[in-house]
Structure formats: C-alpha cells, structure tokens
A and B are shown apart, each in its own frame.
Chain A
Amino acid sequence: MTPRQAARIALVAALAAVWAVSAYLLWQSKVPSSLHLPHLDPHAYFTSAQLHATARFSRVDDLFFWATTLAQIAALAVFAVWGVRWTRESAAGPLGTGMLLGMLGFALVWLVELPFGVLELWWQRRHHLSNVGYATYLFGNWFALGGEFVFLCFALAVVMGLARRLAERWWIAAAPAFVGLALLFAFIGPYLTPTHRLQDPSLRAVATQLEAKEHVGHVPIDVQTVHDVTSLPNAEAMGVGPSRRVVLWDTLVDGRFSRPELEIVIAHELGHLARNHIWKAVGWYALFAFPGTFLIARLTRRRGGMGEAAAVPLSLLLLVVLGLLALPLENAISRHREAEADWLALQTTRNPAAATALFRRFVPTTLDEPSPSTIDYLLLENHPTIMQRIAMAQAWRRYATR
C-alpha cells in the first residue's frame, strides 16, 4: 500500500467516524431506551368496518405511490439516455443548457405523473379527504412546477458552476451550500406560509402553560386555512430562531377534536421545538448531502462530470434513485423524532387517555391504517403507526406510575 493510498483510507475512515458520531448525537432522544412498547391488537381499538375502510383506502393509495414512482424512474431513465438530444435546443452555453435539460427532465416527470395525480385526487375526493377541484389541481400544479423550475435552475447553477471550477471536487463545496439553503428555507418557511393567530383565548392560555413546561420560550400558535383544500387534520412546528412557530390546520380546530386532544397536539409540536428537531433535521440533511453529492459526482464522471450539460439528465435519475433508496432511512429518522415529540407531549400533559383518544380519532379522519404492512411502514410512514402511538401512551402510563 502506498502512503497516498494509506492517507486516503485514513481520511475516509476519519470522515466515516465523524459521520457516525454526528449520527449518534443526532439520534439521541428523551424516550427512555428501556421503554418497551406493548403489542396491541387493532381490533381492540377500532371496529372491523374502520379497519376494512382504511385497508381498502391504503391499498389503492399505495398503488398510486408505486405507479407514480415507477413512472417517474422510467421517465428519468429514458431521459438519462435520450435527454442529451435536447442540447441542440439551447444557445445558452453549458450552464444554461444544463438548466434547460434539468427543467425538461422535471417537465417530463410532471407529464407522466399527471394521470396518476389526477387518479389519486379522484380517490381522495371520493373519500372526502380532498376538496381540490380537478382544474385547480392541474393549474395549481402548473404553477408549482414553475417554482420547482426556478429552484432547480438555481441548484444546477450552483452545482455546475462549482463543477466547472473545482472539477470532481465540486461536491465538497456544493454540499455545504445546499445545507445553507436548507437552513435558509427552514428559517423563511414560516414567513411564506399564510397563517393567522389562534383566536381561541383559552387554548392560547393552555399553549402558554405548555411552553413553560417544555421550556421553549414564547412560540406563536398560528392557524392555517386549508379546509377549502382538504379535510385532513394536521399541525407542524416550523422555523428556527425568531421564525419558530406552531401551525395548526384549521381542520384541527373545527370542533372535531376535544380540548385535551388539542393540548396533546400543541404539546407534541412544542416538543419538536424543545428538542431542536428542525435543527436536527438540517443536521441529518447535511449527513446525507455529503455522501449523496459525492456519489452523484462519481457516477456522472462518464458523462464528463457535472460541469457538462450532458451529465444533467443522468444526475436527475441518480438524485431520484438515491432519494428512493434513502427513503426507509429517512422515514426511520423521522419516526424517531416523532416518537420523541409524542413522549414529550405525554410527559407535559400527563394525559395518556387524551393521547389515545386523539390517535384513535385519526383513523376515521385520515383513513391511515393503524398497523400498515412492513413495506408501507418502511417506505411511506414518516410517523410512528397509530398502534405504535397508542402503545406509547399505554407504556407511558406504566412508566409514570412505576
């Protein structure tokens, strides 16, 4: 082994160690490691009709996911082979041509996904989960595609600009740039989301008490109007630093959920902020961004590297395939964070009955399967399953009375 090879191996080992230590630190959770979730029978919590309805809904919904994913990969695979032909439609030099190819790739994916999207919308409308009209869906998607194009062009300009300067080492500079962008979006996200303050004074007072218990400082509680688009209930913690806030969808505060259940939701979202989950999400993104960009840099070498427009179609395919491969891991990390937020909500409210009632209510309102198949669990579930969440409430009860 030459000293150069030895140095390279040592460097890779050191980087792997840094990666592992960072991952370990980010994985730390308040959920006791000794906590054992009991195995619960869904039939004890849900009627057979409810279980049948969710299974039926999910079966078709899963079909759309697989069809969309396969269509997307097939379209990008074809584009990776033939997309270079569109370079003749550009007079923009390598960078601009790369942008054009990137946009065309996304446009083709949009086209092939469109029929499945419409069918999925039909399925959701049939189950009263979506109120979006077909025309709104098509035109709204069109505008969203425009936004994606602008962001994609910016990303490609960064990658290709760096690749033309730094050759194969572009990923070393690009990964931090993308992490910076992720952080920027985490910060400005709340300002771009149209919301209004929570009007209910008593719920606001409860939120203030929960803030104090979770030691998160003052966090505004906002409401986002979504009832004209969907009937699904949801909430999220957003922002970093001064932009932090909890956003409740108005479908959550429309009277279908009781006060104690809403307290669980707010405590859960404040738990995300208390445990810096958004920062941690950016941290995880950074851990994936470095190897991800490195892999793309290596795998596009045969097309001349990312400095050449010809490499762009292949890079899009790689991006999607790598994203799909990383999906189970991403979901596992997300579920881990969500479980911690659930635990903090139970610790703060000390009300496992309300938590159980909330999770039970999610089944008829969202048609989520309480206990999905393993493949669904790995690829589609970024939250613990309903049964896991109910089991955690039961486990907390035993843990608290120990």
Chain B
Amino acid sequence: MSEHPVQLVVEDDLKRNRLTVCFRLILALPHFIWIALWSVAVFFVAIANWVVTLAAGRPAGSLHRFLSAYVRYVAHLSAYIWIVANPYPGFVGEEGEYPIDIRLPPPEAQNRAKTLVRILLALPALVLAATLGSPGSFASSRGSRRQSFGYSASGLGAAVGVLGWFASLARGRMPKGLRDAGAFGVGYNAQALAYLLLLTDRYPNADPTAMLEGVERPPLHPVHLVGDAHDLRRSRVTVFFRILLALPHIVWLALWSIAAIVVAILNWFATLFAGTPPRSFHQFLSRYIRYGLHVSAFIYLAANPFPGFTGEAGTYPLDLVLPERARQNRWKTGFRLFLVIPAAIVNSALGSALIAAAFFTWFVALVRGSAPWGLRNLSAYALRYSAQLNAYFLLLTEAYPHASPLEGEAPEVHAFDEAA
C-alpha cells in the first residue's frame, strides 16, 4: 500500500526542560484560548470547504491551507501538552517548525460520494482517535455552591502526558516508549482530523508501525510477539459469534486466574527469598500469560483461529516469546506491586483503543472476511503491552514494559562477535 499522504514527522531528541514541564498546562493556557477561537472559525470554514469540494471535486487552495494549518497546530499543541515534544509551539501551525510535525498533501481531487458522507465515514476514525487521546479541553461547571473550572483529557495521550510529566521532571528526559506512544496518538489524531476536514480522502491508518516509520526502534524486549502477522483472513461465522465462542475460554481463564493468583503470591515470596523464581512457577505463569494473550487475540479479533486451552508456545498465529527464568533484583521484586502502576495506567488507556479497534474490526471482518491491517497492528500493540505488563507483574522478567508502538529490534550481531 502506498504511503499515507498525512505523515507524522518526529525529530524530537527526548530532552525536556524541567521548568516548562512543571508548568506545562499553565503555559499552554494561551493556546487553549487560541485553539477555541480557531476551532469556531474552522467549523464554518470546514462547511464551506465541504460545499466547494462537493461542487468542484477538490478543495479550494485557500481553504485547504487554512485547515492544514489548523491540523498542524492541533498536532503541535497536543504534542506539547502530552510532553511528546519540548519547545513551546507557535500559534499558526507552520510546517517544519516543530519537532513533532505533520506533513499534509496539497489539494487533490476527491471522490464526491465519499465527500458527501464524510462525517459518517469519519466516525469510526474519530472514535478511535478519542481513545488514543485528544488534546483535552478546559471546561467550567456550576456546582450547587460554586463554579468549578478544570482541564480534562482522556485516552492514551492523557496517560502519556501524566506519566511523562513525572518522568521528565525527575530525569529531564522523556522515556522513549511514552514519547513514541504519544507521537502515534498525535499522528493518528492528525490523520483523522485531516480526513474529516477533507484535506485528504485516504482513510486514517491505525498501524503504529507505519505511522512511526522514520522513528528509531527500541531494543528488543524479552517479552515480544511472534507469529504470522499477515494472517488477516477472518472466518465470518466465527467473527459473528466471537464473544459467545470465547465463553469457554473466558470460564477457563477465570479458573486459571485463581490458580495463577495463588502461584503469583508464592512466586513473589520465593523470588524475594531466593532471588530467582522457581522453575515450576515460572513455567506455570508463562503458560498462563501466553494463554491469556491467545484468548485476548481471539476475542479482540487480532487473530483468527480458536485457540487451544493450554497456552502452549508455537500453536497460535499471534504468539508470545517469554524469557527464561533469570536472577532478579530483590528491591524491584519487593516493590513490584507499586512499580507496575505506571505501566498499568498505560495498559488501561491502550485497553480502550483495543476495544474500539475490535469493535470496528468486527464489522469490517464480517463484510470483507479479513481484518484491516492497521487495526490488527494496533490490537497487536495493545496486546503486546498487556503481555509485557503481566510478565513484569508476575515476575517473569524484570524488564519494564516498553510503551513504544514499535516492535523492538534485536541488537545487531557483528561479524567479529560471531567469530568470537
């Protein structure tokens, strides 16, 4: 498939200024006022652009430029609020001026039928964009005694923003995983908005790998996905009855979870005492996590076949590689319950995106008999993160879950290393 015309450009170096991070929301106040005013204007311009595009078959150049600047500005502002970028953004959405930028296409001919019903066609993408995070909004509400005023945001972007705020304050640097996740959210939001505003008639692409194509991949996490990523065929009958067909697995997983909780507690004590998880516990919990991934992949339509009940490796098209047991830091083991909280927040945010992706995949798969590549990869990303979180929580690894949507890259082996 050809490159999406709305491109995300990431030139961020991960460095953050602690002072601007600390006061980020307050510093962004002028932008909130400005974006509110700009949005009102965009509402009317978008209607005019819709009429022009319907009549002429392509957007008017001036309207296209105005709306493009708005899309870029929203992306810059989102990146700033979510700590995905460091510098204070400009107010005009100029291209090439910000480390997280959006490259938009020139005005081009568009299909009139798609233009006519664009708002309906854009709905799924907008819902998905909402789960990946919108810039957020300030709102006032009147209670019984006093008026309150607050900022609200949701989705992956909000989770990245909150966690990134603490991390950047502490280290003066944004963790790469969180930055990549936030950048993906910014990019998808921009594609959805560009589609809605008729800047392109290419549907937003939910594939995180394609979105972050130019971004450096993180090192390979010991917990990662393997299998046939290109297995997009979906059986319409099993898709239609998917939740019901998964019921035996849900019951079995619930029963297995009871045992897993007991084993996890014993494993925690054993690892704290011995420094290494006992082999039997490690194997049991590995199978449990792998089985959980198989079942989730089936339920959320990230894979097609009905999974087995044993969590055996190599039996499912979306499979999980888990590390061998290894010595673990006792401090990290002791405080694992608290250390896992940030990852759990990210996982929860990704969970919403996963549900939305599965919901839309269900309809598409019923009609086409195959899953959309982008949604499949988004689901795989959410499932991979969830598996990394579970493996970390259950002491199968002490590698912290990596929030980057990009699958890790195995370190390059040089010729002399091999010879050695």
When A and B form their complex, which 6 residue pairs have the shortest distance between CB atoms, in order from nearest?
A: A153-B248, A91-B305, A92-B308, A90-B306, A100-B306, A89-B235
Secondary structure of the B contact surface, majority rule: mixed
Q: Please list 18 pairs of residues, one from A and one from B, whose beta carbons are closer than 8 Å in the complex, sorted by A's number.
A: A86-B238, A89-B306, A91-B305, A91-B307, A92-B307, A92-B308, A96-B306, A100-B245, A103-B245, A103-B248, A104-B238, A104-B241, A107-B240, A107-B244, A108-B237, A149-B244, A149-B245, A150-B251
Map CB proximity to A onto B158-186 as digits: 1 under 8 Å, 0 otherwise.
00000000000000000000000000000
Question: Measured between C-beta atoms, what is the minimum distance from A182 to chain B in Å?
Answer: 20
Tell me which residues from 85 to 108 in chain A have a Cβ below 8 Å from any Cβ of chain B. Answer: 86, 88-93, 95-97, 99-100, 103-104, 107-108
A290 CA to B309 CA, complexed, in Å: 29
| Contact assessment for A93 and B308 in the assembled complex, using a CB-CB cutoff below 8 Å | yes
CB contacts (< 8 Å) of B235 on chain A: these are: 86, 89
A108 CA to B236 CA, complexed, in Å: 12
Q: Does A146 contact B (CB under 8 A)?
A: yes
Q: Does B131 contact A (CB under 8 A)?
A: no
Asked whether A86 and B237 contact (CB < 8 A) given A149-B244, A153-B248, the answer is yes
Question: Measured between C-beta atoms, what is the minimum distance from A89 to chain B in Å?
Answer: 5
| Contact assessment for B307 and A150 in the assembled complex, using a CB-CB cutoff below 8 Å | no
Q: How large is the interface on B (under 10, 10 to 19, 20 to 34, 35 or more residues)?
A: 20 to 34
A153 CA to B306 CA, complexed, in Å: 13
For A89, the closest partner residue in chain B by CB is B235
| Contact assessment for B307 and A107 in the assembled complex, using a CB-CB cutoff below 8 Å | no
Q: Which of B235, B247, B317 has the most chain A CB within a 10 Å cutoff?
A: B247
Question: Measured between C-beta atoms, what is the minimum distance from A155 to chain B in Å?
Answer: 11
| Contact assessment for B309 and A92 in the assembled complex, using a CB-CB cutoff below 8 Å | yes
| Contact assessment for A145 and B244 in the assembled complex, using a CB-CB cutoff below 8 Å | yes
Asked whether A91 and B244 contact (CB < 8 A) given A96-B309, A107-B237, the answer is no
A379 CA to B241 CA, complexed, in Å: 32
Asked whether A91 and B248 contact (CB < 8 A) given A86-B237, A103-B241, A104-B241, the answer is no
| Contact assessment for A89 and B244 in the assembled complex, using a CB-CB cutoff below 8 Å | no
For A108, the closest partner residue in chain B by CB is B237
A96 CA to B294 CA, complexed, in Å: 13
| Contact assessment for A96 and B307 in the assembled complex, using a CB-CB cutoff below 8 Å | yes
Tell me which residues from 350 to 396 in chain A have a Cβ below 8 Å from any Cβ of chain B. Answer: none
Question: Measured between C-beta atoms, what is the minimum distance from B253 to chain A in Å?
Answer: 13
A9 CA to B306 CA, complexed, in Å: 44
| Contact assessment for A146 and B307 in the assembled complex, using a CB-CB cutoff below 8 Å | no
Map CB proximity to A onto B313-344 as digits: 1 under 8 Å, 0 otherwise.
00111000000000000000000000000000
Q: Does B86 contact A (CB under 8 A)?
A: no
Q: A91-B316, A92-B308, A97-B306 are in contact. List 8 more A-B contacts (CB 8 A).
A: A91-B317, A96-B309, A103-B245, A104-B237, A104-B245, A146-B244, A149-B247, A150-B248
Choose among B241, B294, B305 the residue that contacts A107 (Cβ–Cβ < 8 A): B241
CB contacts (< 8 Å) of A100 on chain B: these are: 238, 245, 306
CB contacts (< 8 Å) of B243 on chain A: these are: 146
A103 CA to B294 CA, complexed, in Å: 19
Map CB proximity to B onto A133-174 as digits: 1 under 8 Å, 0 otherwise.
000000000100110011001100000000000000000000
A88 CA to B235 CA, complexed, in Å: 10
Q: Does B386 contact A (CB under 8 A)?
A: no
Contact residues of B with A, CB < 8 Å? Answer: 235, 237-238, 240-241, 243-245, 247-248, 251, 294, 304-310, 315-317
Interface size counted on chain A using CB atoms at 8 A: 23
Choose among B244, B305, B309, B316 the residue that contacts A103 (Cβ–Cβ < 8 A): B244
| Contact assessment for B247 and A150 in the assembled complex, using a CB-CB cutoff below 8 Å | yes
A97 CA to B245 CA, complexed, in Å: 11
Question: Measured between C-beta atoms, what is the minimum distance from A224 to chain B in Å?
Answer: 26
Choose among B238, B251, B308, B315 the residue that contacts A89 (Cβ–Cβ < 8 A): B238
For B252, the closest partner residue in chain A by CB is A153
For B240, the closest partner residue in chain A by CB is A107
Q: Which of A88, A89, A90, A93 has the most chain B CB within a 10 Å cutoff?
A: A89
A153 CA to B251 CA, complexed, in Å: 11
A42 CA to B315 CA, complexed, in Å: 67
CB contacts (< 8 Å) of A95 on chain B: these are: 309
Q: Which of B244, B315, B316 has the most chain A CB within a 10 Å cutoff?
A: B244
CB contacts (< 8 Å) of A99 on chain B: these are: 248, 306
CB contacts (< 8 Å) of A88 on chain B: these are: 305
CB contacts (< 8 Å) of B251 on chain A: these are: 150
CB contacts (< 8 Å) of B241 on chain A: these are: 103-104, 107
CB contacts (< 8 Å) of B247 on chain A: these are: 146, 149-150, 153
A90 CA to B316 CA, complexed, in Å: 9
For A147, the closest partner residue in chain B by CB is B247
A96 CA to B235 CA, complexed, in Å: 17
A111 CA to B244 CA, complexed, in Å: 13
| Contact assessment for B308 and A91 in the assembled complex, using a CB-CB cutoff below 8 Å | yes
CB contacts (< 8 Å) of B308 on chain A: these are: 91-93, 96
